Every structure is written in C-alpha cells, then in structure tokens.
Amino acid sequence: MKKFKKTYIEITNICNLSCSFCPPTKRLSQYMDIDTFTNILEQIKGYSKHLYFHVKGEPLLHPQLEKLLQISYEKEFYVNITTNGTLINLVKDKILEIPSLRQVNFSLHSFEDEKGSEKMLEYMNSIISFSKDAIKNNIIISLRLWNLQKDNATNTQKKKNRQMLEIIEKEFNLDFQIEEKVEPGKGIKIEERLYINQESQFNWPDLQIQEISSKGFCHGLRNQIAILVDGTVVPCCLDGEGIMDLGNLKNSSFKEIIESKKATDIYNSFSNGEVIEALCRKCGYRLRFSQVKS
C-alpha cells in the first residue's frame, strides 16, 4: 500500500487576508462539512497518519475546527496547521488541549500591515503567547519567514523581518542574533519544539506564466497528496485551483483515485525525471528538489 507522509486537507478555501504572495482562489468559497471530512479520513486511513489543514484559505476560520481536530484524534491522525496567525487568540483555548494537534506553522510573512510597530507587536505577542503554551503541551511550533529574497528585498521588508526577529530574540531570551539567510530544509532551533524557519519567497504555479522546465522531480503523489474543500484530490498542495483533478472522494474511492492512469502517469514521469503536467512545468517550487528519486 502506498504511504503519504503528508496529506493536505483544505478545510476551507476562505481567508481573512489578501496577502501579496498568495493569489486568491477562483473556486466557490466554502467550509468543508463534517460528513465530507469524516469520509476523507475513513478513505485515507492506512495511507497516511499526518494531516495538514491547508492548501488555500485560513484554517482557523473554520467554525467547527475543534470538532475536526477531535474527529482526527478519534481516528488516530496527527494534525498540522499552517496559519497566518491573526486569529490565534480566538481559537487558542479550543485547540490547545486536543491531542491530535501536532504542529502549528505561523506564516509571519503574512503580516503586511503598514500601520506601525504597535500592530506588529500585538500580532507577534499573540503568536508568542500561544507558542509558549503550545510547546508545554508537546506541540511543535514553526515561526516562518518565507519572504527572503536574494537581491531585491525592499528596505521595508528587511526592517519588518528584523523587527519580528528582535521580538522573538527578546521574548525567548536568546543570547544570539537570528541571521536572515536561506537554509533550505533547515530551521533555527529556539528551544525544545520551537523553530524559526526562513526560506526564499516562491510564486504559486500558474498556467498563464512561461514554462520553466519539462524536466525534474517533485514529491507530489509520492510523499504528499492534497484534498480540496469540495473533496477533489490533486497531486500536491500547490494546485490551489484543482487544475490537476484526479477525482473526487464524494463519488470515487481514494484507492481508485491514486491508482488511476492519470495519477500513475504523473508518478512515473517524475520517477523518470519528466514533467508531463502543464501546471507542474510552470512550478518553480519543485526546482528545490534537485535530485530525481524513485
């Protein structure tokens, strides 16, 4: 049986922000209902243990987030949440004690408020407060700055990043300065279960942009798979519009979908260093995977 290290489940495609780096979805705005979510977990049981509540949208907006986490626990899944962090105070008391919650990733680069340092301090303090309580509950926290640029970072961006890092350094009594540099696949450990992750900015793949390459490798359908809010299965978490639709769990089984000709062709092509899907050919993120793996 094929195993996936990461199964992305988009519990909502609605977001409370309009970040410059994340194009809004053109799909119908909705929240995943409990029946659909439960069916998904029943279908993927045995194929995966780790759920990631993210593709597009802000997962903390889901009105039944606590219930989704509880169902995940009952069905023996671990949940990882990626959030912009602006709503963490509203859900903190509801989610901290649910054992299925394994990790929370805060996309600090989502903060684009230009109203001054007071708003930033309020934003950072709420995230740091949650983080301190979470690590006591054995929850892993990743504080992400995925907006680093090699040559053309603006002074405003550099200043904002440095302010955020200074707040973290002060709140956790660090005796070193966190350096802003890209270390792919590596994080800076602040303390047990708490990390800073810095990466270069990436653009979402888009059929309208120029093709990047027809050669390469990706972990889609190998280490990861994604399920959109309406039950549509796609190869990876960067197919935010469901362009590579493999099937829908409301009318096909997960087994049928991942063993379909389309899914098999995508998997085998990457094994051979070939990129057959148009969207994948226009995805710059996969270039981070420099070696073709079987």
Strand-strand pairing, 6-9 and 50-53: parallel
**Cα 181–187–188 angle (5° rounding)?**
80
pLDDT in tens, 140-163: 999 999 887 755 556 778 888 899
Q: What are phi and psi of 79, to 5 degrees?
A: -115, 135
CA distances from 274 to 47, 110, 184, 269, 281 (A): 25, 34, 23, 5, 10
Q: Which domains does the chain have, with CATH numbers?
A: 6-199 (3.20.20.70), 224-289 (no CATH)
Mean pLDDT of the chain: 91
**Side-chain-side CA neighbours of residue 167 (13 Å):** 20
What pLDDT, on the 0 to 100 scale, is given for residue 150? 59
Residue of 247, 244, 245, 291 whose CA lies nearest to 271: 291
- Judged by average pLDDT, the poorest of 13-22, 60-69, 111-120, 164-173 is 111-120
Beta bridge partners of 105: 82, 142
What pLDDT, on the 0 to 100 scale, is given for residue 294? 34
pLDDT in tens, 73-125: 999 999 999 999 999 999 999 999 999 999 999 999 999 865 567 899 999 99
Please determine, for residue 181, whether its predicted confidence score (pLDDT) is greater than 50.
yes
Please determine, for residue 292, whether its predicted confidence score (pLDDT) is greater than 50.
no
Please determine, for residue 290, whether its predicted confidence score (pLDDT) is greater than 60.
no
More confident: 202 or 280? 280
